[in-house]
Homo-oligomer: A and B are copies of this chain.
């Protein structure tokens, strides 16, 4: 490990220059005009993986953009780490707001600016460099390594689940390691061990068989918008808890250890609310803001529409009203079951004047990884050595669907050891990544491999 760390230290400038080469490729997966560029990035990565000495590398086609796969098995008896990352990037628009062109990476004050600098080229490249550090110094990596690098993450990873299903044998591993998340704050090492799931619904209420004149009919025809508002209003109680019967049945309660961690995290609720422009926060009774946004289930209307929405006044009594509603779930809530409970709520409360149409659009379960597992403890130790302080185990309120896919298709937990910051402007103009974090990431991954190998 010491040799690998030394190699990484002496070659850091080369690593940065190589990352800049990768960042120059505009691998925008959502835009068909950049299809060849996405493939070029895949080819670049495959070449690079070969160059650093991975035993086997190939570019595998999918119905969408290709997957780069590489492996280096040192000893079947050792643990195997499957590294996941994505080499595609978000579109750079609006271009006018970039200080320097998005695909001409520049370094200013120790920070590299380019689309993909953090999300996820910069972070996935740390894993290549950690592997190189072991391979170049002759000792070889202490674990078996597999790389699965996709090119469709920013456009929905449409073909990834099928790919993982089709290649589940060669993807066999002991743990997935992903660097595509954030530090809790600058200099604060953190490992994400929990993600929320999702259940997404669309509800339509239909009253009369056509839009009516509110003067001629108003008073005896129940208005679908008013009725839908009543149904939606009834979804929360005064404590801001979700009222759908059975909604909380399978929720794994926060442990005292988890709540202590939430309290220990350096988080300023007032500053957070101010940044979002909120006069006041609103949480489920009994839970802090951090707990509520990351570890408790929620319900939000994501969209609502009905009747006349143009300028001025139109006195329509509309035939229909629609809403898109999603629930963020936590373990062990099951998305399909929660959707059925929501359906039951709407059916039970739909007034006799209305017809209800209810659709469950999609969903996925929440994820909780045991923080005491060997891989998590190895990651914690690595981060502590690099940052000089114990990392926080944190939960994220969002979803990373691929983590559920790895669990479901391969039976694998994921270690989410990311080095981004919420201020890195991923998906926005002037995306950037601090070279200090690029260096810390490489060191942390090198250390993780050694510590994890020792757990076997």
User: CB distance A278 to B208 under 8 Å?
Assistant: yes
Contact (A397, B219) CB under 8 Å given A226-B235, A229-B228, A236-B226: yes
Chain B residues whose CB sits within 8 angstroms of the CB of A396 once the complex forms: 215-216
The reply on A270 being an interface residue by CB < 8 A is no
Q: Could you say which of A209, A219, A236 has the most chain B C-beta atoms within 10 Å of its C-beta? A: A219
Contact of A223 among B289, B292, B300 (CB under 8 A): B300
Closest to A314 in B: B302
A39 at the interface (CB under 8 A from B): no
Assess whether B301 is in contact with A223, with CB atoms less than 8 Å apart.
yes
Question: In this complex, what residue of B is CB-closest to A211?
Answer: B302
Asked whether A233 is an interface residue with its Cβ less than 8 Å from the other chain, the reply is yes
CA distance A281 to B283 in the complex (A): 38
Q: Which residue of the partner chain, among B215, B289, B353, contacts A220 with CB atoms under 8 Å?
A: B289
Residues of chain B within 8 A (CB-CB) of A234 are 233
A214 & B361 in contact (Cβ 8 Å cutoff):
no
Q: What separation, in Å, do the CA atoms of A312 and B360 have in the docked complex? A: 11
Kindly identify, within residues 207 to 227 of chain A, every residue whose CB is under 8 Å from any CB belonging to chain B.
Answer: 207-210, 212-223, 225-226
Find the B residue at minimum CB distance from A399.
Answer: B215
CB of A68 to closest CB in B, whole Å: 28
**Residue A140 lies at the interface, judged by CB distance under 8 Å to chain B:** no
A298 to B207 alpha-carbon distance, docked (Å): 17
CA distance A450 to B96 in the complex (A): 78
The answer, yes or no, to whether A122 is at the interface (CB within 8 Å) is no
Contacting residues, chain B, for A307 (C-beta < 8 A): 301-304, 324
Interface residues of A in 296-335 (CB under 8 A from B): 296, 298-309, 312-318, 321-324, 326, 328
A315 to B281, CA, bound (A): 19
User: Contacts A218-B298, A303-B309: A198 and B293 contacting too (C-beta < 8 A)?
Assistant: no
Q: Does A263 contact B (CB under 8 A)?
A: no
Contacts of A326 in B (CB 8 A): 214, 313, 315
Alpha-carbon separation in the docked complex, A299 to B281 (Å): 31
Cβ of A437 under 8 Å from chain B: no
Establish whether residues A215 and B196, one from each chain, have CB atoms under 8 Å apart when the complex forms: yes
A279 touches B355 (CB 8 A): yes
Which residues in chain A, 346-401, are within 8 Å of chain B measured between CB atoms? Answer: 351-355, 361-362, 396-399
- A292 and B219 within 8 A (CB): yes
Q: Once bound together, how far apart are the Cα atoms of A307 and B210, in whole Å?
A: 25
The number of residues on chain A lying at the interface, defined by a beta carbon within 8 Å of a beta carbon of chain B, is: 80
Q: Which residues of B contact A280 (CB under 8 A)?
A: 352-353
Residues in B whose Cβ lies below 8 Å from that of A281: 220-222, 353
Interface assignment of A97: CB less than 8 Å from any CB of chain B: no
**B208 and A298 form a contact (CB under 8 A):** no
Q: Which of A239-257 contact B (CB under 8 A)?
A: none
A282 contacts the other chain (CB 8 A): yes
Name the residue on B nearest A236 (C-beta).
B226
Q: A300: which of B218, B279, B289, B302 is its contact (CB, 8 Å)?
A: B218
Chain B residues with CB below 8 A from A226, complex form? 232-233, 235-236, 299-301
In the complex, A438 has a CB within 8 A of chain B: no
The smallest beta-carbon distance between A223 and chain B, in angstroms, is: 5
Closest B residue to A215 using CB positions: B398
What is the interface of chain A, defined by CB distance below 8 A to chain B?
A: 196, 198, 200, 207-210, 212-223, 225-226, 228-230, 232-236, 276-284, 287, 289, 292-294, 296, 298-309, 312-318, 321-324, 326, 328, 351-355, 361-362, 396-399
Q: Across chains A and B, which 10 residue pairs bring their CB atoms closest together, nearest first?
A: A209-B277, A215-B398, A219-B292, A303-B307, A233-B233, A225-B301, A229-B229, A229-B232, A222-B282, A303-B308
Chain A to chain B contacts (Cβ below 8 Å), 12 pairs: A196-B215, A200-B313, A214-B300, A215-B397, A220-B292, A221-B278, A221-B282, A225-B303, A282-B353, A304-B307, A309-B322, A312-B361
